[in-house]
């Protein structure tokens, strides 16, 4: 099995990949930006084996990307939330999203600056306000005309425009 470290590489790209380079990890972090907070919600949206999800969530907690707290509504379960360091991964995810949208298939969602509702450009820049808003000031909604392919509860909850990082109620 391949490890997840890049010990011989003196490069902060390698250091970042040690944190979010594993298969599925970037999509788990994406879902956390969309407000997903519970194990079962990640699972229904990602369709991955519980063991993989559990391994990745534990790694993200250990690496300081997600904070794990007790779920007040479900004894014995947890909530996962992006830490400040985790929130700073937004430019990486947005960069992947833009690249995939330009070169593979348009993204299923669009992203607006919450202050003025302007759609952000490929650099995440709001041309009206002249800023690159942080994820807490970005509203995401399904792209008009994009056929919805998934009908799991998280995908349905994401059908309405939502501010990033706002906890999802499924």
CA trace torsion 31, 59, 101, 42 (10° rounding): -30
Nearer to its own copies by Cβ, of 76 and 84: the residue is 84
CA trace torsion 50, 18, 58, 149 (10° rounding): -40
> Six-digit token pair at 54?
């559990």
* Residues found near its own copies in the complex (CB under 8 A): 2, 4, 6, 8-19, 21, 23, 26-27, 30, 46-47, 64, 85, 88-89, 91-109, 123, 132, 148-150
In the complex, minimum distance from the CB of residue 130 to its own copies, in angstroms, rounded to a whole number: 11
Nearer to its own copies by Cβ, of 71 and 153: the residue is 153
Asked if residues 121 and 128 have their Cβ atoms less than 8 Å apart, the reply is no
In the complex, minimum distance from the CB of residue 27 to its own copies, in angstroms, rounded to a whole number: 6
In the complex, minimum distance from the CB of residue 72 to its own copies, in angstroms, rounded to a whole number: 29
In the complex, minimum distance from the CB of residue 153 to its own copies, in angstroms, rounded to a whole number: 15
In the complex, minimum distance from the CB of residue 24 to its own copies, in angstroms, rounded to a whole number: 8
Residue 34 CB partners (closer than 8 Å, separation 6+) = 140, 154, 158, 162, 164, 168
| Beta-bridge mates of residue 99 | none
Rounded Cα distance, 120 and 142, in Å: 14
CB neighbour class for 42 (10 Å; exposed up to 12, middle 13-18, buried from 19): buried
The residue assigned the tokens 């003025």 is 116
Nearer to its own copies by Cβ, of 72 and 151: the residue is 151
Nearer to its own copies by Cβ, of 13 and 70: the residue is 13
Nearer to its own copies by Cβ, of 78 and 109: the residue is 109
> Six-digit token pair at 78?
């947890």
């Amino acid at each position: 099995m391949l490890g997840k470290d890049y010990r011989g590489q003196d490069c902060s790209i390698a250091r970042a990949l040690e944190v979010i380079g594993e298969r599925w990890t970037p999509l788990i972090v994406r879902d956390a930006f969309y407000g997903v907070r519970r194990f079962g919600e990640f699972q229904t949206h990602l369709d991955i084996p519980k063991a993989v999800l559990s391994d990745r969530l534990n790694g993200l907690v250990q690496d300081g990307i997600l904070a794990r707290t007790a779920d007040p509504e479900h004894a014995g379960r947890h909530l996962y939330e992006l830490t400040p360091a985790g929130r700073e991964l937004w430019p990486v995810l947005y960069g992947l999203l833009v690249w995939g949208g330009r070169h593979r298939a348009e993204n299923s969602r669009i992203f607006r600056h919450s202050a003025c509702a302007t759609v952000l450009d490929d650099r995440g820049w709001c041309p009206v306000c002249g800023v690159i808003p942080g994820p807490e000031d970005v509203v995401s909604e399904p792209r008009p005309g994009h056929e919805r392919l998934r009908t799991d509860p998280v995908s349905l909850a994401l059908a309405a425009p939502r501010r990033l990082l706002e906890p999802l109620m499924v």
